[in-house]
Structure 1
């Protein structure tokens, strides 16, 4: 059932929600977090990602909290400061010591999040061997696939886990994300990038099950879900 909130009440059918949930579930990797050298918070328009990263740090799950992000397509008109500045302030409000926060404020995409973070840590003579990546729920898979391709140092797959705020698809839309229809459009666009970015060498390969591909094919026949497709 579509939620009653005005934010979650666009014209989205039960069938479309079911298809979107197939993709949503695929994009989440459901890794189990483990104590790591660094928690890397990959910024965006969703401040709940900062909440999750701060919570993990305060639980002792990382020695350092790296917050990475300048401005992307979805935040260029939202904030006047880099995403990392906004997220870091939220982490401080939640109790993370400023001495344990490392800022990266230049990146504008996931690959730059990874490469620019590596550069900053290298300049600080830091060579972490394990990471928790924190992203939006529907970007877990892309975050992991990007990190494993873009991080210059060799790390075993088990040294990197990814997590996100524990939020259901129907509870995800808010004032920042837009309507449920907007969220589904972003999810569809992110799945399109899984294959595209593999082909151009931006991410490690990801197997897309037939049921996920079918859900994508069905959703892109609807114009309202085509607003976030890669160029």
Structure 2
């Protein structure tokens, strides 16, 4: 049983990770690979709304996705988008990235290889990865204007959809840890983290939601 206090702390992290960027048309939409096919759904919807003329789906597999997405996250995202009416001609697939930094770097390199001039990118991620995706892209692709987006669902809607509260809370804590430690390692820009967010993160770590954390 997960306590009300734990859910309250999880909500603090969830709200912090959501950046609330105003959506605007960009040169490209980049769907960041993960276990969540909803990323492809959101990317397809934004394409149909005219937010970008070109899509890159990026991602290999991870321990979470190797069984359910054996051909790679980007390939499964592509299939999902095609099923939602996105033309194959506007989708590029980057099949090798295994982390957020590689998602950004390999997508950038793929676009350069295809001679696509990029001035802005709309990153589509899981809801609790918006801020880390933004911070990573700003560090690795500083010449490009970055907009971060995800599904508008609530924390509880996301948990219900995945059917695994422990995993969602572990992932929230892991995402927050990376925001705190990656700037010093050169992987992301530094961002202001309110004290209440740090406190919620530390309480969740103490409570044991650490399976997706980096080793200390």
TM bucket (normalised to shorter chain) is over 0.9
Which of 197, 200, 210 aligns to 1:212? It is 197
Q: CA deviation at 1:221?
A: 1.2
Q: TM-score by structure 2 length?
A: 0.96
Q: TM-score by structure 1 length?
A: 0.90
Partner of 2:155 in structure 1? 169
CA deviation map 1:153-186 (0-9, x unaligned) = 623xxx21100011110110257x4511220111
* 2:54 alignment partner, SS class: strand
Please tell me the root mean square deviation across aligned C-alpha atoms, in Å: 1.2
After TM superposition, the structure 1 stretch with the greater mean CA deviation from structure 2, 75-84 or 183-192, is 75-84
Distance of 1:169 and 1:111 partners within structure 2: 25
CA deviation map 1:89-140 (0-9, x unaligned) = 0000000000000110111111111111111111111121011100000000
Residues 34 and 133 (structure 1), Cα distance of their counterparts in 2 relative to 1, 3 Å cut: same
Distance of 1:72 and 1:203 partners within structure 2: 21
Q: CA deviation at 1:220?
A: 1.1
| Structure 2 segments unaligned to the other structure (5+ residues) | none
| Structure 1 segments unaligned to the other structure (5+ residues) | 1-10
Partner of 2:168 in structure 1? 183
Q: CA deviation at 1:218?
A: 1.1
Partner of 1:105 in structure 2? 95
Distance of 2:104 and 2:50 partners within structure 1: 22
Distance of 1:229 and 1:171 partners within structure 2: 23
Partner of 1:69 in structure 2? 59
Distance of 1:174 and 1:89 partners within structure 2: 24
CA deviation map 1:13-66 (0-9, x unaligned) = 111101100010001101011011101110100001100000000111101011
Q: CA deviation at 1:196?
A: 1.3
Aligned pair 1:57/2:47, yes or no?
yes
Distance of 2:210 and 2:105 partners within structure 1: 29
Partner of 1:150 in structure 2? 140
* 1:172 alignment partner, SS class: helix
